[in-house]
Chain A
């Protein structure tokens, strides 16, 4: 089975490429038939090129990236910190589990108009939106992982009168990191959703702002190009998250 693996992978790549080419062909034909609602791939690429040359696309990417990174870092710090805390403080966990569950169920997008009027549309308010969308998977996964520290190890640590500091440094943290990374992987994807939501609904800036502007101008070439760009960025972010998760997965203890 393993011998046929590279061949199989090549076949998969070829078929996928054929699928993409087919899609591109359809896009070209539809774009020529209906140049108002659609645009050909060439015109979309051209539109993105124009945006790049006039500098609005690079600066939009930078703005969106900054927003995403700020929100994500806040979410990681708060999420992992609170998740670890929950693992050691049983009372805190039983007292707040319902709150996390409830807060997780609130659609943050729907909260955007209220956040707008409470905190305005500056960077802090937008970072809050990104933070809120990204933080919950991180808390939940971290707490879950920390909760699963093998009891045997905890008891051994206690038998040897390990200090709280050593317990964290040598047992809790190394055990929890892979789980936290699963949360962070999901958090990255969510943070991107939050970034777009903040740019759509608080103030039109970044890539989301460009998309909105092009859409109100009925500029289908630019909208198509930017939508595809967002998709490519999303896939990139997702693979980044997967890579980080996989890197730390080898810390995962073999579980029974």
Chain B
């Protein structure tokens, strides 16, 4: 729709537009807190001022470490188990039918709702966090991988049959490569859910971590500090998304988009 010669000015206009929108957001936020909202709320200037002291503080470092180690361990367990189950359910119809009521019931459900039950079973401990994170990661991995493994393109399946590939070769050379984009898509969803799950458990079970860091600072009117932690969580989410996206392009340059 845009003719080629106008391209440069448009690009420039785009950048100017981005800058204007950014300035507008910052100005409206700052002004509305100063003028109408309670003044202990986070403001852009306050968040900037609080950013460095918060990031280097020992409290934040410990909270960050607690949450990240929980998320990493939970993701590892959940994604491995989920992907394995997904591959199995994709290839074994009876297993798919057997597990589908559980998988779809749990997958549809907000993981927040599982936290009260988990705290009764596992107590107000980091085990609860690990379990909730692992389950939050397990479900999207199992569902996405299951979809992928079930829908191996029929040309590939037929070719494999014609070539009389052994079961092992079929799994290694056909099933895994064609399912890989779905595995990555599952992991991508899992990371976001795992971060949210971790924060939710920490809120409800008051476990040490970024969630509790946000909660205590928000309650003691250190909202700017709390917001820095929210910001860090958002950046982690973006980084994980970008990382999995890059992995997808590196591993499978031919496969650009996977629809969930």
Q: Which residues of A contact B (CB under 8 A)?
A: 11-13, 15-16, 18-20, 23, 37, 90-92, 94-96, 98-99, 101-102, 105-107, 109-114, 116-118, 151, 154, 189, 192-193, 196-197, 200-201, 208, 211-212, 214-215, 218, 220, 223-224, 227, 230-232, 234-235, 237-238
Contacts and interface: CB of A to CB of B under 8 A. Distances in A.
A103 B107 CA distance: 24
A231 B25 CA distance: 38
B17 A91 contact: yes
Contact of A94 (B17, B116, B199, B241): B17
A16 B40 contact: no
A91 B121 CA distance: 53
B116 A111 contact: no
A106 B237 CA distance: 8
A111 B226 CA distance: 9
A113 B203 CA distance: 9
Contact of A114 (B105, B226, B234): B226
Contacts of B2: 90
A98 B18 contact: yes
Contacts of A110: 196, 199, 210-211, 214, 229-230, 233
A218 B223 CA distance: 33
Given A95-B21, A154-B1, A238 B226 contact: no
Interface of B: 1-2, 10, 13-14, 17-18, 20-22, 25, 37-38, 40-42, 93-94, 97-102, 104-106, 108-110, 112-114, 116-117, 119-121, 192, 195-196, 199-200, 203-204, 210-211, 214-215, 218-219, 221, 223, 226-227, 229-231, 233-235, 237-238, 241
Contact of B196 (A109, A189, A215, A232): A109
B98 A18 contact: yes
Contacts of B17: 91-92, 94-95
A153 B193 CA distance: 40
A162 to B, nearest CB: 15
Nearest to A94: B14
B98 A15 contact: yes
Given A12-B97, A102-B234, A218-B120, A96 B195 contact: no
A212 B112 CA distance: 11
Contacts of A118: 37-38, 41
A177 to B, nearest CB: 18
B97 A19 contact: yes
A105 B241 contact: yes
Contacts of A200: 112, 200, 203-204
B143 to A, nearest CB: 12
Contact of A19 (B22, B98, B113, B200): B98
Interface centre among B2, B42, B99, B215 (most CB of A within 10 A): B215
18 contacts: A12-B93, A18-B98, A19-B99, A23-B102, A95-B18, A99-B25, A105-B237, A107-B192, A109-B200, A110-B199, A113-B214, A113-B215, A117-B40, A117-B41, A118-B38, A189-B108, A227-B117, A237-B108
Given A16-B97, A116-B218, A235 B104 contact: yes
Nearest to B25: A99
B91 to A, nearest CB: 15
B227 A114 contact: yes
Nearest to A218: B120
A223 B110 contact: no
A217 B110 CA distance: 22
A189 B109 CA distance: 8
A114 B38 CA distance: 12
Given A192-B110, A211-B113, A227-B113, A220 B94 contact: no
A201 B199 CA distance: 11
A210 to B, nearest CB: 10
